[in-house]
Amino acid sequence: MKIDRLLFSSLLIISLSLGACSPQESAKPAAAAKREVSLAIVSAQAKGFAVGSLMSANTVYVFFDSQCPHCGHLWQASEALHGKVKFVWIPVGMINATSAAQGAALLTATDPGALMAEHEASLLAGRGGISASSSVAAEVEQAIKNNTQMLNSFGAEAVPFVVAKNLKTGQTVSRDGALSTAALAEFLGLDPS
């Protein structure tokens, strides 16, 4: 019994340390040709909402599922960097039907940043996030499907998935999983000040 608890605790710690949500095996799309992660493609084709330093020359794109707690942790970690860069949060529908409905509510909100903060606080408190109508306008539903297809085309298997230009190297960088504020700043090539 003691060994079972130890094994369970170890597995739980390992799974939490990965810091990303992925669809259940049966819900994963069939393998398709993977294309290179491109800031130009994301910028031109993804539909999301912007928060942070809206006039910043550096934009960080975050593909997220509204039902993913790791996405909520990344949202919280990113808030300290809102004065330095612009974040564009791109909703996808991977985890369940609620994902698309909540993503649609965030995309169409008058103040998506405030609604996202409310949503993530609720989600991380175990209350499931904001309530959202299951009736979604066709064009918004299609935008979320397109976002999900784009994410899948990059070969990403989990959210959050971050795409940006590292300010120090000038290289396009991408990764999945939540990060602390310090790790996110380092990943983006931001000065720690």
Question: How distant is the alpha carbon of residue 93 from its chain centre?
Answer: 11
pTM above 0.75?
yes
Which of 137, 52, 169, 150 lies closest to 92, judged by CA? 150
Least trusted range by pLDDT, from 23-32, 162-171, 181-190: 23-32
Q: Where are the domains of the chain?
A: 23-188
Query: At residue 93, does pLDDT exceed 70?
Result: yes
Tens digit of pLDDT for each residue in 130-182? 998 888 899 999 999 999 999 999 999 899 999 999 999 999 999 999 999 99
The 8-class DSSP code of residue 3 comes to: H
CATH of domain 23-188: 3.40.30.10
Give me the DSSP letters along 92-132: E--S-HHHHHHHHHHHT-SSHHHHHHHHHHHHHTTS-S---
